[in-house]
Amino acid sequence: MSNIPGSDISSILHGGYHHPTSRLWQSERQLTKAALMYPIFITDDPEAEEEIKSLPGQKRWGLNKLVPFLEPLYKKGLASVILFGVPLAPEAKDPYGTSADDPNGPVMQAITLLKKHFPNLFIACDVCLCEYTSHGHCGILHEDGTINNPPSVKRIAEVACNYAKQGADCVAPSDMMDGRIKAIKTALIEAGVAHKCMLISYSAKFATCLYGPFRDAAGSAPAFGDRKRYQLPPAGRGLARRAITRDLAEGADCIMVKPATAYLDIIRDAKEIAPDVPISAYQVSGEFAMIHAAAKAGVFDLRRAAEESLDGILRAGANMILTYFTPDFLDWLSE
CA dihedral 264, 81, 214, 238 (to 10 degrees): -30
Nearest CB to Zn ion, comparing residues 133 and 326: 133
Q: How far is the CB of 131 from Zn ion (least distance, A)?
A: 7
Site residue total, Zn ion (CB under 5 A): 3
Q: Which whole-number Å values give the CA distances from 53 to 216, 217, 289, in the listed order?
A: 8, 9, 10
Q: How far is the CB of 133 from Zn ion (least distance, A)?
A: 9
b/e 120-145 (16+ beta carbons within 10 angstroms → b): ebbbbbbbbbbbbbebbbbbbbeeee
Q: Applying CB under 5 A, which of residues 55, 128, 218, 274 lies at the interface with Zn ion?
A: 128
Nearest CB to Zn ion, comparing residues 230 and 329: 230
Residue 296 annotated as catalytic: no
Nearest CB to Zn ion, comparing residues 123 and 177: 177
| Separation between Cα atoms, residue 70 and residue 73, nearest integer Å | 5
Residue 130 near Zn ion by CB under 5 A: yes
Q: Which of 65, 93, 185, 205 is catalytic?
A: 205
Q: How far is the CB of 200 from Zn ion (least distance, A)?
A: 15
Q: Which whole-number Å values give the CA distances from 133 to 89, 172, 275, in the listed order?
A: 12, 18, 36
* Residue 163 labeled ligand binder: no
Residue 205 annotated as catalytic: yes
DSSP letter (8 states) at residue 99:
G
For residues 72-111, which are near Zn ion according to CB under 5 A? none
Q: How far is the CB of 136 from Zn ion (least distance, A)?
A: 8
Nearest CB to Zn ion, comparing residues 227 and 292: 227
Q: Applying CB under 5 A, which of residues 138, 198, 210, 254 lies at the interface with Zn ion?
A: 138
| Separation between Cα atoms, residue 250 and residue 173, nearest integer Å | 13
Contact 147, 229 (CB under 8 A): yes
Q: Which of 65, 93, 258, 271 is catalytic?
A: 258
DSSP letter (8 states) at residue 142:
P
Enumerate the known binding-site residues for Zn(2+): 128, 130, 138
Q: Would you name the residues annotated as active-site residues?
A: 205, 258
Chain residues in the site for Zn ion (CB under 5 A): 128, 130, 138
